[in-house]
Amino acid sequence: MNCARSRSLLAVSLCALLCIASIGPTRAADIPAPSPDGLERITAFFDNEVKTRKLPGAVILVQQHGRPVYLKSFGVQDVKTGTPMNPDTIFALHSMTKPVTSVAAMMLIDEGKLALTDPVSKYIHSFTFTKVGMEVTKPDGGLSLDLVAPEHPVTVRDLMRHTSGITYDYIGAKWIEQAYKDANIFEGKFDNREFAERIARLPLARQPGTLWRYGHSTDVLGRVIEVISGQTLSAFMKQRIFDPLGMTSTKFVLNTPEELARMARPLPSDMILLDAEQDRLAHPEWESGGGGLLSTMHDYSRFAQMLLNGGEYDGKRYLSPAAYKDMTTDQIGPGSGVDRDYFYYPGDGFGYGYGLAVRTDPGNAKPPPAGSLGELKWDSGSGTLFGVDRKLDMVFIMLEQTQNERGRITPAFKALVYDCFPPELRRPRSD
């Protein structure tokens, strides 16, 4: 073993020991620290990703008992400038915005200002007239679209668990893609109010409450938050979440040259992500609750730790125990009446709470994917991922900017994290 690797392993080991000391001997005996050799394998993996030019860079965190046991930056923020990645690099979170918006909504539910059973039309009147699209086969074999009344109104619960029937333009049948294309929902300038109006005019893909289908539900939820609070979504989040948690670099729009210089960029070949970034920059007035936030490892780790702590951080409570339990409990499992299809993104072994995937069982794959029962997670189209493992008292976060490689890197990273633990803790067991 060379000297550099010896120093690295020693540093990791000392950090792990500090974490153990901070939580007391009983808990330390119950929860093992990740192995230094396992953490070194994470380093080797991302070093190779950067060396082989599959990634410009990444920032990786494994945090246990409230303190980092592994925090490392790889590569550069932007291959054009060569600026090194660091924990203060700013990343487009894309769908990792959704858990933040969902926490904001749960805070209003805690205060009695919002109810899961509320129809969305109570806050956005246009949803009173929303119809469900039904594709039917005509006698000549052609297809047509019928619009029928929903069997029950879209509710706040439907928005929070993605059972509203609201979708994305690229998910579902061809008629959905065409309907969204014809509606030009991203045309011109629009804020959350106008965007919610545009979504309300579109047909729902399914009857509300019957199918988990990813889409703009959380964007509409962001508008509901605005209506109740009388604030923009960004102002509400800043006042209630970002400032109290110390998330000083989390926002929807970067305003200064210094902030822009900290932004991570995808590789020039990552055209889907580059196009998405251009769309985001073209609509600075739209504060997308489903995918618009920008943040750093420093900031998002605080949010994730708050979730690991049961809705509390540094002596301040953000969610009541009851709200936290609801948010982190599978809401679409047996008896819920909710179906799943090919587009079920929480994945094998996972249910879905309010804004978060929840590990409920080992799943169908043999062997099961890495993780623990009760684990919380979400990821994004830009390759960002976070997980909260309550069994191991651990947070793990990967911040990168890649659409091209995320499908490969995400499961590999998660497997590497759990490979740091003894074999019996690497995968969930139904017993």
**pLDDT band at residue 430 using 50, 70 and 90 as cut-offs:** low
28 φ/ψ angles, rounded to the nearest 5 degrees: -60, -35
Of 153, 96, 73, nearest to 289 (Cα)?
Answer: 96
Q: Which pLDDT score is estimated for 6?
A: 37
Of 312, 351, 311, 348, nearest to 331 (Cα)?
Answer: 351
pLDDT per residue over 14-54, tens digit each? 343 334 333 444 454 589 999 999 999 999 999 999 999 99
Q: How far is CA 294 from the centre of its chain?
A: 12
Residue with tokens 């153990």: 20
Query: Is residue 54 within 8 Å of residue 40, measured between CB atoms?
Result: no
Tokens of 368: 């099961």
**pLDDT band at residue 137 using 50, 70 and 90 as cut-offs:** confident
Of 297, 301, 127, 306, nearest to 217 (Cα)?
Answer: 127
Tell me the C-alpha distance between 53 and 194, whole Å: 41
Tokens of 425: 């803790």
- 337-356: average pLDDT: 96
Q: Which pLDDT score is estimated for 127?
A: 98
Three-state DSSP class for 67? strand
Q: Which pLDDT score is estimated for 304?
A: 98
* CATH no. for 113-229: 1.20.58
Residues in the chain: 431
Q: Which pLDDT score is estimated for 429?
A: 73
Torsion of CA 284, 288, 292, 297, to 10 degrees: 130
- What's the number of CA atoms in the CB half-sphere (13 Å) around residue 78? 13
User: DSSP state, 33?
Assistant: P
Tell me the C-alpha distance between 232 and 188, whole Å: 20
Residue 121: count other Cβ atoms within 10 Å of its Cβ. 16
- Which residues belong to CATH 1.20.58 in the chain? 113-229
pLDDT per residue over 200-246, tens digit each? 999 999 999 999 999 999 999 999 999 999 999 999 999 999 999 99
Alpha helices in 67-151 (DSSP H): 98-110
Query: Is residue 79 within 8 Å of residue 109, measured between CB atoms?
Result: no
Q: How far is CA 138 from the centre of its chain?
A: 41
pLDDT per residue over 138-173, tens digit each? 777 777 789 999 999 999 999 999 999 999 999 988
CA distances from 302 to 67, 214, 307, 371 (A): 10, 26, 9, 21
Tell me the C-alpha distance between 324 and 184, whole Å: 37
Q: What is the pTM of this model?
A: 0.92
Q: Which pLDDT score is estimated for 64?
A: 97
Residue 161: count other Cβ atoms within 10 Å of its Cβ. 24
Query: Is residue 90 within 8 Å of residue 254, measured between CB atoms?
Result: yes
Three-state DSSP class for 388? strand
- Which residues belong to CATH 3.40.710.10 in the chain? 3-102+232-425
pLDDT per residue over 313-346, tens digit each? 999 999 999 999 999 999 999 999 999 999 999 9
The region that residue 201 occupies, defined by phi over 0 for left and psi between -120 and 50 for alpha, beta otherwise, is alpha
User: DSSP state, 97?
Assistant: G
Query: Fold for domain 3-102+232-425?
Result: Beta-lactamase (3.40.710)
Considering the chain, what is the average pLDDT of its residues?
92
Tokens of 262: 């900290």
- 91-117: average pLDDT: 98
User: DSSP state, 56?
Assistant: S
- 79-101: average pLDDT: 97
Query: Is residue 294 within 8 Å of residue 92, measured between CB atoms?
Result: yes
